[in-house]
Amino acid sequence: MHYLDMGQGEPLVLIHGLGSVKESWKYQFDLSEKFRLIIPDLRGHGECNDFQDISIAGFADDVLSLLDSLDIQQAHFCGLSLGGLVVQEIYRQQSDRVQSMILSNTFSYLPYFIRYTSLHDRLKNLRSLTSDEYISITAEKCLYQKTPDLIEEAKSLFLIKSEPYIQTSRSAVKSNYLPILPFVKAPTLLIGSLYDEVVPLFSVYQTKWCMPQAKLILFDQCGHLPNLERREKYNEVLTQFIEQQKSLPVSCTV
């Protein structure tokens, strides 16, 4: 498994989104001054060309196996979008390994009509566009500030591989972690963005409703990638949450 391992301190595992790469967390590398960052490429993503068992469960198995190989028994987990599903699956499989969860711009369940429309549109565009065209559209949709420079910056965070991308999408939209959320004991932070065009606030609030014990942070003037558009504040939020370990039902906008 290809991964980055940097810094010292309590382990913090950063899990990227769909069609993205471990380097998409480059704006969070400064967190290595406080934590040991473990940042993997999920199967079929980035440098990993293993296309077998492309599923949320398979991704979680890979991450847990990586931690085993590094002799890391517990860690904090932060997942963005798809990565948030993987974090929830890790908790479902081995909750004792999770010191805390940060679920950023993700969902726990998609209603059928949203699931069908999302998958249909995604596959249609993927088949009709070149990889560069698809990445350009994806990058722009992920942003609130759709400036040429920021779009180019966002494009660098993606590497679309059609086959695993399709398999991952199909697995992701079938996910349903709502039944386990009320019983989550690990401190949890939910992060959403007011102008997220990929994961609407409905999904964030749905997760929050099922786990009122979680803390909620909403980023204003931001799209699907707060780790890019609001990188400094994002890093501050992650650092404060992990260090303070407050799992109170608090909502705020930053």
In single-letter form, the type of residue at position 243 comes to E
CA–CA separation, 102 and 190 (whole Å): 6
In single-letter form, the type of residue at position 37 comes to L
pLDDT tens, residue order, the chain (254 aa) = 899 999 999 999 999 999 999 999 999 999 999 999 999 999 999 898 878 889 999 999 999 999 999 999 999 999 999 999 999 999 999 999 999 999 999 999 998 767 667 776 777 777 788 889 999 999 999 999 999 999 999 999 999 998 999 999 999 999 999 999 999 999 999 999 999 999 989 999 999 999 999 999 999 999 999 999 999 999 999 999 999 873 434 444 56
Measured in degrees and rounded to the nearest 5, phi and psi for residue 37 equal -90, 125
What domain range is 116 assigned to?
3-253
Contacts of 134 (CB under 8 A, 6+ apart): 125, 126, 160
Closest CA to 198 of 110, 128, 130: 110
- Please tell me the number of Cα atoms within 13 Å of 37 on its side-chain side: 26
Q: What's the whole-model pTM score?
A: 0.94
Retrieve residue 3's tokens: 């991964």
The total domain count for the chain is: 1
In single-letter form, the type of residue at position 100 comes to S
Which CATH number fits the domain that encloses residue 70?
3.40.50.1820
